[in-house]
Amino acid sequence: MFDTIIVGGSTAGLSAAIYLGRFRRKVLIVDSQKPANRFSHASHSFFTRDGMSPAELVAIGKEQLRPYETVTLQSGEVTQVMPDGQYFTVTLADGSQHTARKILLATGLKDTLPPITGIDQFWGTSVFHCPYCDGWEQRDQPVAIINKGEGALHIAKLLRVLTADLVICSNGASEFTAEQRALLAKHDIRVIETPIESVKGSATQIEQIVFADGSTLARKAIFIAPITTPHSDFTRHLGCEVNQNGVVKIDWQGRTTVTGIYAAGDISFGARQLIFASSQGAFAAIGINMDLIGEDFA
């Protein structure tokens, strides 16, 4: 019997494991090793670790769990989380099962890129989604935003601080209001509504956008809005409440609306940044530890 099984061994899960390990909690982390940021060349804005690759951060996190002998890290994929009386049973893809008093879901999200030929090749190296994560490196460079409407405008406002060479490619109707178009024009941000045929470049570096009419646009970076979905349906199957964007509702210590189930990281917070995921893992671990203490003292 584990005190806690953590589903997901990336930033949020490892952060929680350290906190729980330091209280001698018996913890199992099950990690499928498929974090969404595995395609990224570097993480940024993480205090003391700016510019380090996500994979290196995770490797350090796993190494720092070694002193905590009550924490076990296992590679694998969780296929089912089921209530089992007052506890929970977790089933892995290999058929093995484990029981725990509490479950922390730190499964993260997965990204579906726009259906544009060639874009996968550059994802995480010169095609990005977050100006806070990767905008500074593109300062004063020719940058494109592939998006439309309010979403494109939001990213344009952020990137315009960093570069004056900014173009919005809406890949069809831009969905801007007259007021929004005037605002973009005021800041010299061009809008191209011609459908996109493909993106091209060399190795991992984007070089140009090719449009359906044969025209091209030279760019050094592109910011897109991928469709994000949870890696798993555990929260839905367990009955955890989510908001209109699919984000799991939690309190400040990671508790979901289902007793004994906690969540941390991208599935429970709208801003996808490592430093937020780390802090959420810490808060969830504190919540779990305090709830275990409350039960044991009672």
13-54 confidence digits (pLDDT tens): 999 999 999 999 999 999 988 877 777 778 888 888 888 888
Q: What is the pLDDT of residues 115-147, one digit of tens each?
A: 999 999 999 999 999 999 999 999 999 999 999
CA distances from 51 to 136, 162, 258, 280 (A): 11, 18, 37, 21
Query: Which of 196, 224, 252 is the C-terminal boundary of a domain?
Result: 224
Task: Decide if 290 contacts 253 (C-beta within 8 A).
Answer: yes
Residue 189 C-beta-side C-alpha neighbours within 13 Å: 28
Q: What is the pLDDT of residues 176-202, one digit of tens each?
A: 999 999 999 999 999 999 999 999 999
Average pLDDT, the chain: 94
CA distances from 76 to 30, 32, 93, 124, 231 (A): 6, 5, 7, 25, 14
Query: Which of 224, 243, 274 is the C-terminal boundary of a domain?
Result: 224
Do 120 and 104 belong to one domain? no
Query: Which of 200, 224, 248 is the C-terminal boundary of a domain?
Result: 224
Domain count across the chain: 2
Do 124 and 151 belong to one domain? yes
pLDDT of residue 67: 96
Do 127 and 152 belong to one domain? yes
In the numeric block, which tokens belong to residue 212?
A: 């359906």
Do 231 and 105 belong to one domain? yes
Do 208 and 241 belong to one domain? no
Do 86 and 233 belong to one domain? yes
Do 21 and 8 belong to one domain? yes
Task: Decide if 285 contacts 19 (C-beta within 8 A).
Answer: yes
Do 27 and 7 belong to one domain? yes
pLDDT band (50, 70, 90) for residue 78: very high
Residue 266 per-residue DSSP state: G
Do 195 and 100 belong to one domain? no
- Give the structural domain span for 165: 114-224
Do 17 and 165 belong to one domain? no
Do 15 and 82 belong to one domain? yes
- The CATH number covering residue 293 comes to 3.50.50.60
In the numeric block, which tokens belong to residue 54?
A: 């996500």
Say whether pTM exceeds 0.85.
yes
In the numeric block, which tokens belong to residue 168?
A: 């919005």
pLDDT of residue 38: 77
Give the separation between CA 116 and CA 200, rounded to whole angstroms: 10
Do 236 and 166 belong to one domain? no
Residue 125 per-residue DSSP state: T
